[in-house]
Amino acid sequence: MRLVVADDLLLTREGIVRLLMGAGHEVVGAAADADELLRETSRTQPDAVIVDIRMPPTHKDEGLVAAQRIRTEQPDTAVLVLSQYLEPSYALRLIEDRPSGVGYLLKERVFDVAVLTDALQRIRNGEAVVDPMIVARLVGRRRRPDPLQRLSDREREVLGLFAEGLSNKAVAARLCITERTVEAHGTQIFQKLGLVDDPASHRRVRVVLKYLRSNPGLLRGD
C-alpha cells in the first residue's frame, strides 16, 4: 500500500513510517503540518493517508479538516486519523457524510503494527474502523433518550463488535457463536434502530452515528 504520514512530532512521524515500511508498505510522503499533508497527498496520490487530528498552527483540528478535504477531493484515498484523546465528536465529523474508507484510532494503538496494518487494509477495502475504546464509550453509556435501550445485552455486545469493524465471522469467533446467529442479531439490531433500508455496508457505522446524535452530552465529553 502507498501511504502518506502526517504528524507534527518528528519522532512519532518517523516511528510510524518505520513501522509501515517494516510491514512492507511504501511510504511515499511525510508531512509535519496540514498544508504539507495536502501537498504531498495531491502530489503522490496515495492509497491512504495517516494523519494526527491536532496539527499546527493551533493544534486543534487542522488534521481533521485536511482529512475531510482529502476525502472530498480524492475520494479514492482512504483516510486514517489519529487522536491522543477520546474525541467522539471528531469521529462523528469524519464519518457521518461518507462512512466508508475511513478510520479513527487512538494514537497509542498505531505502534502495534498488527492493529495499524489491519485498520489500513480495512479502510482501503472501503470499510470504516472506529477505535474499540470509542465504541465502548458509545455503547456502554446510557443517556436519555438512548435508542440502544431497545437492544438486548447480547445485541449491544454484537453492536459494539460491529462498530469496531469486525466481520460476521470475526464476531462469531469472538463470542463463540455461529455466523447465522450473528446475522440474526444483526437483523434485530438494524430493525430496532430503524436502519433496515440503509446500504448493508454502511449500517454498522450508522448505528454508532445514531447513538452519537442522540447523546449530545457525550459529544461534549460530559
CA 221/CA 143 separation, integer angstroms: 13
- Give 39-89 pLDDT, tens digit per residue: 999 999 999 999 999 899 888 889 989 999 999 999 999 999 998 876 767
Based on the fold, state whether residues 13 and 123 are members of the same structural domain: yes
The C-alpha cell 462523528 sits at 92
Q: Of 130, 152, 176, which marks where a domain is finished?
A: 130
What domain range includes position 146? 135-220
Q: Percentage of residues in the chain with pLDDT exceeding 70?
A: 78
Q: How many CB atoms lie within 10 A of CB 24?
A: 8
Residue 34 has pLDDT above 70, yes or no: yes
- Same domain, yes or no: 176 and 209: yes
Q: Distance from first CA to last CA of the chain, Å, rounded?
A: 39
Cβ neighbours, 10 Å, residue 190: 20
pLDDT of residue 221 exceeding 60, the answer is no
The stretch 206-215 carries a mean pLDDT of: 58
3-state helix/strand/coil string of the chain: CEEEEECCCHHHHHHHHHHHHHCCCEEEEEECCHHHHHHHHHHHCCCEEEEECCCCCCCCCHHHHHHHHHHHHCCCCEEEEEECCCCHHHHHHHHCCCCCCEEEEEHHHHHCHHHHHHHHHHHHCCCEEECHHHHHHHHHCCCCCCHHHHCCHHHHHHHHHHHCCCCHHHHHHHHCCCHHHHHHHHHHHHHHCCCCCCCHHHHHHHHHHHHHHHCHHHHHCC
Q: Which of 85, 108, 130 is the last residue of a domain?
A: 130
85-142: pLDDT as tens digits:
767 677 777 777 677 888 888 888 888 888 899 999 999 998 888 887 776 665 555 4
pLDDT of residue 127: 85
Same domain for 169 and 183, yes or no, is: yes
Other CB atoms within a 10 A radius of the CB of residue 23 amount to: 13
More confident residue, 149 or 138: 149
Assign residue 200 the CATH number of its domain: 1.10.10.10
Residues 123 and 165 grouped into a single domain: no
Mean pLDDT of 171-199: 84
| Residue 219: band (very low, low, confident or very high) from pLDDT cuts 50, 70, 90 | very low
Q: Residue 30 pairs with which residues in a beta bridge?
A: 5
Among 143, 30, 130, smallest CA distance to 88 is for: 130
Given this model, what pLDDT does residue 6 score? Answer: 97
One domain for residues 84 and 140: no
Mark whether 24 and 110 lie in a shared domain: yes
